[in-house]
Amino acid sequence: MRDFLTYGPGIPRYVALWLPLAPLLVAGLRRFGVPWSAVAVVLASTLPTFLRHNPPTAVPHLALWLGMVLLLVGIAGWLVAVLRRPASDEPPASAAAVRWPLVGLLVLVALAVRIPLAWIDPGISDIPQASETAARQLLDGRNPYLQPNPYTILGEYQYPAGSVLAHLPFVAAIPAEVLNERWLGARAAIWATEALAVVVLAVAGARLGRPRAGLAAAFAYALHPTLVREAGLTATNDLMLALGCLCCALLLARRRPQWAAVALGIAISVKPAALVAVPVVALAGGFGPAVICLAVPGALQLPFLLWPRPGLHGLAAMAEPAGRLYDYAVLRASLWWPVYAAVDPSRGLLRVITVLGVLGALAAAGWAGLRLRGQARPDPAMAAAAIGLPLLAAFALASDWRLTFQVWYLPCLLAAALMSRPAQAAHRAPLVARPREAD
């Protein structure tokens, strides 16, 4: 049983997180009155990690590959169905009061299931180590893009300025080591991201006139096993990208295209993968917001390009992953596995596949943006699906399925599943013993 639940020096396998959290997630969503169809979508989104995180060796690779493809196609199909819904002729709901005690409780729940994992797992991924190292270099008055960074494949920092800047205040405020945990600054940055995501979902639901839906989405975020794993064990900056994209979607739903563009620009400044969602903002918000999406990361990166002398500092390192040649054992976990099985992978092939994946994600974004553009009052579920679909496509069509890339679309998926009109109609049970507010 120990080997089933843990590996290495007691590090929990995904199943050790999923077994207690998934039933709580399902029971809690039903308590919020979420219909089974939406619960099923949320539960399905917890399953891809099973197929990628230490799957049983007895299961044939073909079965694992087919299972992953079916899950991704099913989730993508559901997002497409949300975007194809006819426009609602119902008047927009009035904003409701934020139930701050419940929001605070959900934040505590989210942190309670994430923070202890920093000490349960003695290791941490290279992503937060690289970002904390870059933040410390910046605090020392050095440009991190001109310094060696031992925690990346190239030995140079490979993330845009938004990532290092997001880590900076936490690295500055927290000691280098606490209770034998070496990387608490980077972990704290992710914990803060998770707390903020819970607050954003709950507050957005209230502002959009769907307070129960917002609380349900915040609850789902707090206990989603995949999000718990990536925040508590991996501490990846992909969660920061996901939060920026979620804010973009919810601001589009509130008809704030300029601020939505700022949010997406911040996401791009954390990881360039968020660029695939720009067509959604461009088509739904117009030319000005599209420019903002690109101007924000450019403005954040510019000081590092000029200091201490003008140059393309770090840009080549950021672009390097597009053609990175991994072992076949890594690449076979990919939608493109049949291609790799037929043709020996090369850097050129991987670059072509990366371009095809990006084009596919941009095409999905263009279609989603057109669907959103046709809505006089964008439904929050539709706005979330519009941003989530290209992010899911970018993950699904990537040269390999990276576990951390799953979280790009997950917050938007939760918002789309739990803030949809059908979910609102299904609400029945009161959340607390008080008069029910209109959702």
Cα 358 from Cα 401, distance rounded (Å): 14
* Phi, psi values for residue 253, rounded to 5°: -65, -30
CB 149 within 8 A of CB 155: yes
pTM over 0.85: yes
pLDDT tens digits in sequence order for the chain, 439 residues long: 777 788 877 788 899 999 999 999 999 999 999 999 999 999 999 999 999 887 877 899 999 999 999 999 999 999 999 999 887 666 677 889 999 999 999 999 999 999 999 988 767 889 999 999 999 999 999 999 999 999 999 999 999 999 999 999 999 999 888 888 889 999 999 999 999 999 999 999 999 999 999 999 999 999 999 999 999 999 999 999 999 999 999 999 999 999 999 999 999 999 999 999 999 999 999 999 999 999 999 999 999 999 999 999 999 999 988 878 888 888 999 999 999 999 999 989 999 999 999 999 999 999 999 999 977 677 899 999 999 999 999 999 999 999 899 999 999 999 999 987 643 433 443 443 333 333 3
99: left (phi over 0), alpha (psi -120 to 50) or beta: beta
- Nearest CA-CA partner of 373 in 247, 285, 291: 285
Cα 247 from Cα 409, distance rounded (Å): 12
Residue with tokens 């720009």: 278
Question: Tokens representing 35?
Answer: 């219909």
* Phi, psi values for residue 178, rounded to 5°: -135, 125
